[in-house]
């Protein structure tokens, strides 16, 4: 029996639905949903590469809803910027997906805990990175045209690198994008969030299409999880207004560390 044809028994169905529900809520509140969906898929018997591709499909509907939620901020941006960044993310997402599909399964399995740990640490340091950037901006004068051009080049190179990472391993993608925009001078948090959601959607759609074309997606699991993740997104949007942000961030970090430890012990 192929790994893509694993039957969905009741316990697997409940585990995958619960993980996707939690992932949808987490992504709506703070990000980090892949810390739940990817390990759950591996625990139900899918190989890591198939689990990663299926997890990317499962959380992808949430990006559309998030992007639509920032329609006003996106409309205020120059169309040339939106199109250029979308193209960069499309190319990077395809490159990352292609890299995943040619990576030996054993090598990817060995890299998984370190990818999870990297995303977790970055998530934990996110607020400090934002604060450091704002403090530095407050202490410097207005940038010159040459430094602005240099910052734009750095941002686009960084955006391509993050898109490749997102196509290869979706965990922590939103965190990386927010850090990139903050560190390269985006002063408006809402604008950075809007671009993060739009570009996550673009690269996710392209990488998911590549995974589907290559036959690397376990569709029964993906479809069940897409429904649960969408519902979780609605729940998370409501919880975001009630839960203290520090509680949510702590929960995501602890989840990421627990998943990292579990995969290291699993070998």
How confident is the model over 12-33, as pLDDT tens digits?
A: 999 999 999 988 887 777 677 8
In total, the chain counts a number of residues equal to 267
CB-based burial, 131-142: b 16+ in 10 Å, e otherwise: eebeeeeeeeee
Distances (CA, A) of 63 to 135, 143, 200: 30, 33, 6
- Measured in whole angstroms, the distance separating CA 254 from the mean position of its chain's CA atoms is 17
Provide the sign of the torsion angle of the four alpha carbons 243, 244, 247, 253, taken in this order. Answer: positive
Per-residue tokens: 79? 């169309």
In a domain, 258, yes or no: yes
Residue 250: inside a domain: yes
| Of 111-115, 123-127, 205-209, 239-243, minimum mean pLDDT range | 239-243
User: Mean pLDDT score of the chain, rounded to an integer?
Assistant: 82
Number of domains in the chain: 1
> Cα(109)–Cα(85) distance, rounded to whole angstroms?
31
Confidence of residue 119 (pLDDT cuts 50, 70, 90): confident
Please tell me the pTM assigned to this model: 0.79
* Residue 90 confidence (pLDDT): 94
What is the pLDDT at residue 86?
A: 93
The answer to whether residue 2 sits within a structural domain is no
Range of the domain at 173: 9-266
Q: Is residue 225 part of a domain?
A: yes
pLDDT of residue 182: 73
Angle between helix axes 145-168 and 173-183 (nearest 10 degrees) is 170
Domain membership of residue 1 (yes or no) is: no
The answer to whether position 167 is within a domain reads yes
Q: Which of 197, 177, 215, 208 is nearest to 97 (CA)?
A: 208
Q: Which string of DSSP letters, residue by residue, matches the chain?
A: --GGG----HHHHHHHHHHHHHHHHHHHHTS-THHHHHHHHHHTT--HHHHHHHHHHHHHHHHHHHHHTTHHHHHTS-HHHHHHHHHHHHHHHHHHHHHHHHS-HHHHHHHHHHHHHHHHHHHHHHHHHHHHHHHHHHTS-PPPHHHHHHHHHHHHHHHHHHHHHHHH--TTHHHHHHHHHHHTT---HHHHHHHHHHHHHHHHHHHHHHHHHTT---HHHHHHHHHHHHHHHHHHHHHTTTS-HHHHHHHHHHHHHHHHHHHHHH-
Residue 3, domain member (yes or no): no
Residue 230, domain member (yes or no): yes
Give the rounded percent of residues in the chain with a pLDDT score beyond 70: 85
Kindly tell me if the per-residue pLDDT of 136 is higher than 90.
no
Tell me which residue of 108, 4, 121 sits closest to 57, measured CA to CA.
4
pLDDT at site 177? 83
Tell me the Cα Rg of the chain: 18
Residue 244 in this model has a pLDDT that exceeds 90: no
């Amino acid at each position: 029996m192929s790994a893509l044809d694993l039957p969905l028994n009741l316990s697997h169905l409940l585990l995958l639905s619960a993980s996707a529900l939690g992932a949808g809520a987490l992504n709506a509140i703070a990000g980090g949903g892949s810390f739940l969906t990817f390990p759950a898929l591996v625990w139900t018997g899918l190989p890591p590469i198939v689990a990663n591709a299926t997890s990317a499909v499962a959380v992808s509907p949430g990006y559309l809803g998030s992007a639509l939620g920032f329609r006003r901020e996106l409309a205020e941006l120059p169309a040339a910027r939106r199109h250029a960044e979308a193209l960069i993310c499309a190319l990077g997402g395809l490159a990352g997906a292609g890299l995943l599909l040619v990576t030996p399964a054993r090598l990817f399995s060995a890299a998984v805990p370190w990818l999870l740990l990297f995303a977790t640490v970055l998530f934990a340091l996110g607020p400090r990175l934002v604060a450091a950037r704002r403090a530095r901006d407050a202490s410097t004068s207005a940038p010159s045209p040459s430094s602005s051009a240099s910052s734009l080049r750095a941002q686009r190179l960084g955006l391509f690198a993050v898109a490749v990472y997102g196509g290869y391993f979706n965990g922590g993608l939103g965190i990386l994008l927010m850090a990139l925009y903050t560190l390269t001078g985006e002063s408006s948090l809402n604008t950075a969030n809007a671009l993060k959601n739009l570009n996550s959607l673009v690269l996710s759609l392209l990488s998911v299409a590549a995974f589907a074309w290559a036959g690397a997606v376990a569709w029964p699991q993906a479809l069940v999880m897409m429904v649960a993740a969408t519902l979780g997104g609605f729940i998370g949007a409501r919880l975001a207004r009630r839960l203290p942000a520090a509680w949510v961030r702590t929960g995501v970090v602890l989840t990421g560390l627990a998943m990292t430890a579990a995969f290291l012990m699993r070998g």
